[in-house]
């Protein structure tokens, strides 16, 4: 092995080591075990946001199908024009309703799309936290085949 | 191979991100052939970073579908790198990065 290839190999290894060291600095959301295990929507919100008083708002836009043939994969989309710090999705009739909570730093659009499981026909509620208040939009999704795998 | 697939496209200063993570997302309610409960095992946290700052974090419950799909958008620019990671209930993690197109 000549000097050049040794130096090159050393360079690659240093880059790899740097990449490994760089990983742990990623910021994780604080996982709220209590909120996600809560059996009711109000309880989930209290544990997640420290409050469960909500106001329905037509500025919260919730997109979900009217009928979901397969409850295992139901697309849900939440978007709002409000200045939002956080968005959560509640699936009321699921064993634990809170499906997702997303934190939105400044500069991040107030939008989140995902796919959820629904055990049975249920109300789905989008919660937007804006200026310390919780705004919601609710929609019923009819589920033909449940998706919780009982 | 990474469990994460990411698409990140910039338009008018907004980066639209679509991602798929390969994960069983076991609810803990499902039973195997012998009627034994399959223990819950799910992605708990997802975090995305670009241009040296966190642009999105989310926590999942077991009610997010198997092989989770997630889409979000943030103010960013073409050519920057987007790094996305997940961490599951067993403590496993994975990370992938993509150049914003």
Query: pLDDT digits over A61-90, tens only?
Result: 999 999 998 999 999 999 999 999 999 999
- Kindly tell me if the per-residue pLDDT of A21 is higher than 90: no
Q: Could you tell me which chain B residue has the CA closest to the CA of A35?
A: B61
Q: How do residues B6-15 score in pLDDT, each as one tens digit?
A: 999 999 999 9
pLDDT digits (tens, 9 = 90+) for B39-93: 999 999 999 999 999 999 999 999 999 999 999 999 999 999 999 999 999 999 9
pLDDT for res A145: 82
Q: Which chain B positions have a beta carbon within 8 Å of A148's beta carbon?
A: 27, 29, 63
Partner residue opposite B72 with nearest CB, options A111, A115, A148: A111
The pLDDT score that the predictor gives to residue A28 is 74
> How much is the pLDDT for A101?
97
Contact B69 A113 (CB under 8 A): yes
Q: Nearest Cβ partner of B57 from A28, A148, A150?
A: A28
Cβ–Cβ below 8 Å for A95 and B29: yes
Residue A11 pLDDT > 70 = no
Residue range A128-138: mean pLDDT, rounded: 97
Q: Do B70 and A113 touch (CB under 8 A)?
A: yes
Which residue has better confidence, A28 or B93? Answer: B93
The mean pLDDT of chain A is: 88
Structure tokens given for A60: 């919260």
Structure tokens at B27: 């609810």
ipTM of the complex: 0.94
Residue A97: pLDDT over 80: yes
pLDDT of residue A26: 60
The closest CB to that of A149, out of B29, B55, B83, belongs to B29
Helix (H, G, I), strand (E, B) or coil at A22: helix
Give the mutation candidate from A47, A84, A96, A102 for the B interface (greatest B CB count, under 10 A). Answer: A102
- H/E stretch holding A42 reads helix A41-49
Give the whole-angstrom CA distance, residue A127 versus residue A136. 5
Smallest CA–CA distance, residue B67 to chain A, in Å, is: 9
Whole-number Cα distances in Å, B20 to A129, A146, B3, B47, B86: 26, 22, 8, 13, 11
Quick one: A54 exposed, middle or buried, by C-beta within 10 A (0-12, 13-18, 19+)? buried
Contact criterion met (CB < 8 Å) for A103 and B71: no
Contact B47, B59 (CB under 8 A): no
pLDDT at residue A30, as a whole number: 74
* Nearest CB neighbour to B57, from listed A95, A103, A117: A103
- Is the pLDDT at A27 greater than 80, yes or no? no
pTM: 0.87
Provide φ and ψ at A108, rounded to 5°. -95, 135
């Amino acid at each position: 092995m000549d000097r050049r290839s040794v130096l090159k190999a050393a360079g690659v290894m240093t880059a790899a080591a740097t990449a490994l060291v760089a990983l742990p600095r990623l910021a994780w959301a604080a996982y709220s075990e209590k909120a996600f295990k809560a059996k009711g929507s109000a309880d989930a919100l209290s544990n997640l946001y420290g409050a469960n008083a909500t106001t329905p708002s037509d500025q919260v836009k919730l997109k979900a199908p009217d009928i979901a043939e397969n409850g295992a994969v139901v697309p849900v989309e939440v978007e709002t024009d409000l200045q939002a710090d956080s968005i959560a999705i509640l699936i009321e009739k699921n064993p634990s309703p809170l499906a997702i909570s997303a934190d939105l730093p400044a500069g991040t659009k107030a939008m989140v799309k995902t796919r959820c499981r629904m055990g049975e026909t249920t109300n789905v509620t989008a919660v937007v936290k804006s200026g310390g208040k919780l705004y919601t939009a609710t929609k019923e999704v009819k589920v033909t085949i449940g998706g919780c795998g009982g | 191979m990474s469990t994460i697939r990411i698409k990140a496209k910039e338009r008018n200063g907004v980066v639209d991100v679509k991602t798929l993570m390969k994960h069983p997302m076991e609810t803990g309610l499902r039973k195997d052939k012998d009627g034994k409960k399959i223990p819950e095992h799910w992605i708990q946290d997802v975090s995305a970073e670009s241009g040296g700052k966190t642009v999105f974090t989310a926590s999942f419950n077991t009610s997010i579908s198997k092989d989770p799909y997630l889409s979000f958008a943030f103010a960013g620019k073409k050519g920057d790198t987007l790094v996305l990671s997940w961490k599951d209930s067993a403590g496993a993690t994975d990370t992938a990065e993509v150049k914003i197109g």
